[in-house]
Structure 1
Amino acid sequence: MKGKLILENGKVFEGKIFGELADTVGEISFNTGMTGYQEMLTDPANHGMMIAMTYPMIGNYGINTEDMESDKVQLRALIIKEDAKLPNNFRCEMTLDGFLRQYNVTGFKGIDTRYLTQIVRDNGSMKAIITAEDLTKKEIQERFKNFSNKNAVAEVSSKEVYEIAGGEKRVGVIDLGVKNSTLNYIKDAGFTVVVFPYNTKAEDILAQNLSALVVSNGPGNPEDLVETQNTIKELAGKMPIFGEVLGLQVIALAFGGKTAKLKYGHRGGYPIKNLATGKVVITSQNASYVVEEIPAGFEMTHQGINVKTIEGMKNEALKIVGVQYMPDLYKDSKDVFENFLKLV
């Protein structure tokens, strides 16, 4: 079905709507990965987002039920140049189009996504509408005005405490939008995982007899998560704490640091440097915000290559470590997470 992608800056792209044939609105950004589209679609950190893929063909190895990072598609819309009609992989169970239809998510295709990426790169992330209608300027502005992603973490976080049985030692996870792969990584490392809602109080976490705590990645602005910041402050020094992306940002705010919104986010493969070893590795990233100022008592451990962003920090006295990337996905970037779990 023919449709339009309308950007907040007034630019309009004409293409085709696929998946769920419905109008939608969200915040648009882009992802530079060549693979991993299913993980990206189901990652809770993308809740409320429209993501444009820079790689020209998406869906060539299909979709399977094993690689879900949550129980549904989290995006508002997926924007691509072309979808693969005949995916070819022994694990393929359905097409990209069928997957989007199953979870009532809109797709948009048939445009130059690299040109769209240039616009977002130059102008920053912005709101966008996908529609088959001829909207008036007033209708467009009303749809932009009515969209908000402020409660994203509350919408994706678990609603109650639950356990994933593993080893004798117990590692807690504050769920800001945790991925299944993160939970599985901790479990496979030999720990029982205890998952907490984002607004769990410190005393309830301490009652679980944990050996360590992980603060997960997730969507939205870390400044909105005041309850989580207060909990981390109370737990500091009582157990080792690891922060992943949004978790890192929340930890920084809890101790007086500052965060800022990235112009267009970092999504896809991104090079970072380990300041202790000098080693540069490619990391998997999915972030809208970044730590702008490290709090007192912390030191920077990793830094971005393309942009000199703060990519990691630690406080040895409090046994707190955090990174701006997803350390459980790429082999070369797992060392910081592995070292933390070895410490536990």
Structure 2
Amino acid sequence: MEEGKLMDKKSLRFLKGKNTDWDELAKDCISFANAHGGNILIGIEDRDDLPPENQKIEDKNIIEIIHKNIAQRTINVAVIVTLEAAINRAEYIRINIIRNVQTIASTTDGRLYVRVADECKPVMPDEIVRLAAEKNAFIWEELTTKYVDKSNADEKKKMDFLYDIRNSSRVSAFVKEKSDEEILEYYEFQKDNYLTNLGILWIGQRRDRSSLLFAPIIQLIRYNDKEEKVWKFLLDDFYLNPKEMLESILRDIPDWQESMEIPDWAYRKNVPFYPIEVIRELCANALVHRTYTTRGDIFINIFHDRLEIHSPGLLPYGVTPKNILSKSVRRNENLSKVFLI
């Protein structure tokens, strides 16, 4: 149980009676509520998986006290506080913070926070609109607002997806042993007999995929040395799901086959202008991390001296140009899992 965007751990020493930092706990709960929800485990050290042997929670009123103090310091935060026993029979406290789907959580004096990776980040006034947009992105995948019955899925795309799951080395045996219906629900493709937005995007019929508010469109444009458009490749008919779009880009663009020959001691070798592994990673990121709640096409622009890929929307919340190489934040959590198969 590592700390991350869905979990935080605190030593039992955090609870100091009247000296407990309730404001800090409230801030952590708000940050989880404004992101994906999560759990705070009080009584387990940061680097441990279990509470210390023989640990007991002596004050049985602490559950009510925690709940009361969080409620007094927060707005739009729902928590479930329980006393639990680990497999070593030691006790700890679990605070389950419910993801706040529609509204923004804050302190009673108006301060906002959001969980980014394993950190609690303050939300500045000029970032509130961005946070609201990100919250819509969090839930977009799981919505069933199109009311497309699961029986209307594209049968070939569905079977291809299930085949990929059961033949992937990255998928656990636990998942592979599930039934077809259970796998589709596990990956959030369907819910309550309807395809979710993610399900429509990946295994839906063309007509349903085209009805999504902002289904992905890719434009690849080649420019000459004067930066004038000379060739265009377009994926805009909604027949393909994201995986098929990526495969088409890698297969159908002749530029990826271009290379130059360079001397290599007594031999000569071809060095590609565009390493296909790099192109795959960049295009996959453009599809996985784009915002599906705002308008905009993905542009792949090939110039004589560079390649540019533009994906609609800002960087995910918490990612900046300065930390983009070290900070990992998934905007579309379930779509990311599917691409990792």
Judge same fold: TM > 0.5, yes or no.
Answer: no
Quick check: which has more Rg, 1 or 2?
2
Give the TM-score range, shorter chain.
Answer: under 0.3
More strand by share: 1
